[in-house]
C-alpha cells in the first residue's frame, strides 16, 4: 500500500472518496451493495473511496440519489470541482488524475522533449511559458500540476518507468544552457534509482516520427491504457487493436535504443556540452 498519497487529502477527488465511504458506512451498506446501485464492480467502488479512480458524472448522480445528499454533501458538485481543477488541460485529466496515480509500469516514447515525469521545474516552466496566448498564472498552474504528477515517484512502491527518448532531445535548447545542464543532470540522478530505466534512441530511427506515446500497465488485471499526443489533445484508449499497435511500435523503437549504459554516457556527454 502506498505511504505517500498521490493526491492531496483536501482535493475534490479525495473528499469525494472520503464522503462516499462515510455515508456508505453510516447507511450500513457494503461496497458490493453500492456497486450494484452504481452498475459497477466492488473493486471500482473501492478505488473510488480510495481516490484511485476518477468518478464519472453518472457515478455522482447515482450517489446523490442513493444517499439523498445527506449532510449537505453533493457528489455532483464534487464531481464538477474534480473536472475543473486548474493545471492540467481538460483532456488530460483522465490520465493524470486516474491512470498515473495507480499504474504499476509506464513505458513511454518522447521524440521531442524530456518526459514530463522527469522534467525539472525550470525546464517545464520554459515549455509552458511559450504556449501561444498563455497567461502567467496559467503557466504557474501548469507547472504546479506537472510537479504534482511527479509525486507518484515518491511512493513507497513507485511505478517502474521504462522511458525511450530520441537523442535529439538531449541537444534541443529549452531555456538555455543552465536549464539544460540541470535537466540532464536530473535525468542522470533519476536513472540511478531502481525504478527508472532511460534509453536514448538512435536519431535515424524512423518508426518514432509518428509522435510521442505512453503505455500504462495497471493493477488488478486491468487492460493496458495508451495515450498518444497531438498538438491539441491526447488520445487515450484501452481499445485492443490500438494498444497492440502502440506496443509493436514501442518494441521497434526499443530495438533502435542504445544500451542503458551507453545511453547514460550520451546524456552525460550532452550535459557537459551545455556550457
- Which CATH architecture does the domain made up of 90-273 adopt? 2-Layer Sandwich (3.30)
Report domain extents, the chain: 12-83, 90-273
Which residues are 166's β-sheet partners? Answer: 201
Q: How many CB atoms lie within 10 A of CB 164?
A: 24
Instruction: Give the residue among 215, 209, 265, 256 at the shortest CA–CA distance from 235.
Output: 215
Per the structure block, which three cell numbers stand in for 51? 481516490
Please report the sign of the dihedral spanned by the C-alpha atoms of residue 90, residue 94, residue 97, residue 99.
Answer: negative
Render each residue's pLDDT in the chain as its tens digit; 275 residues. Answer: 333 334 455 677 788 899 999 999 988 999 999 999 888 888 889 988 988 777 777 888 889 999 886 567 888 888 777 665 556 565 566 687 778 888 999 999 999 999 999 999 999 999 999 989 999 999 999 999 999 989 999 888 899 999 999 999 999 999 999 999 999 999 999 999 999 999 999 999 999 998 999 999 988 778 898 998 765 566 788 888 889 999 999 999 999 999 999 999 999 999 999 98
Same fold, 12-83 and 90-273: no
Q: Is there a contact between 105 and 154 (Cβ–Cβ < 8 Å)? A: no
Closest CA to 239 of 258, 255, 225: 225
| Inter-residue contact 59 to 38 (CB < 8 Å) | yes
**Residues with Cβ < 8 Å from 178, sequence gap 6 or more?**
274
CATH superfamily of 12-83: lambda repressor-like DNA-binding domains (1.10.260.40)
DSSP E strands in the chain: the ranges are 105-110, 160-166, 196-201, 213-217, 225-229, 234-237
State whether residue 229 is helix, strand or coil. Answer: strand
Cα gap 39→230, rounded to integer Å: 33
Whole-prediction pTM? 0.69
Question: What grid cell was written down for 111?
Answer: 521524440
Amino acid at each position: 500500500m502506498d505511504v505517500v498519497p498521490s493526491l492531496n487529502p483536501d482535493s475534490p477527488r479525495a473528499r469525494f472518496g472520503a464522503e462516499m465511504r462515510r455515508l456508505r458506512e453510516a447507511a450500513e451498506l457494503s461496497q458490493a451493495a453500492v456497486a450494484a446501485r452504481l452498475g459497477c464492480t466492488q473493486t471500482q467502488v473501492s478505488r473510488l473511496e480510495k481516490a484511485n479512480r476518477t468518478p464519472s458524472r453518472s457515478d455522482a448522480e447515482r450517489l446523490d440519489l442513493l444517499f439523498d445528499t445527506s449532510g449537505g454533501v453533493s457528489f455532483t458538485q464534487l464531481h464538477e470541482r474534480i473536472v475543473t481543477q486548474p493545471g492540467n488541460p481538460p483532456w488530460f485529466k483522465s490520465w493524470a488524475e486516474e491512470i498515473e496515480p495507480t499504474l504499476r509500469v509506464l513505458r513511454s516514447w518522447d521524440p521531442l522533449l524530456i518526459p514530463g515525469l522527469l522534467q525539472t521545474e525550470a525546464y517545464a516552466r520554459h515549455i509552458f511559458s511559450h504556449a501561444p496566448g498563455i497567461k502567467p498564472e496559467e503557466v504557474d498552474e501548469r507547472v504546479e500540476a506537472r510537479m504534482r504528477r511527479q509525486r507518484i515517484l515518491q511512493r513507497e512502491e513507485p511505478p517502474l518507468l521504462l522511458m525511450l527518448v530520441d537523442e535529439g532531445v538531449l541537444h534541443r535548447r529549452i531555456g538555455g544552457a543552465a536549464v539544460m545542464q540541470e535537466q540532464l543532470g536530473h535525468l542522470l540522478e533519476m536513472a540511478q534509482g531502481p525504478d527508472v530505466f532511460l534509453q536514448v534512441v538512435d536519431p535515424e530511427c524512423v518508426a518514432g516520427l509518428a509522435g510521442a506515446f505512453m503505455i500504462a500497465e495497471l493493477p488488478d488485471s486491468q487492460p493496458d491504457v495508451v495515450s498518444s499526443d497531438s498538438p491539441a489533445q491526447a488520445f487515450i484508449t484501452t481499445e485492443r487493436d490500438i494498444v497492440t499497435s502502440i506496443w509493436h511500435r514501442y518494441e521497434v523503437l526499443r530495438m533502435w535504443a542504445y544500451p542503458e549504459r551507453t545511453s547514460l554516457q550520451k546524456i552525460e556527454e550532452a550535459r557537459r556540452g551545455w556550457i
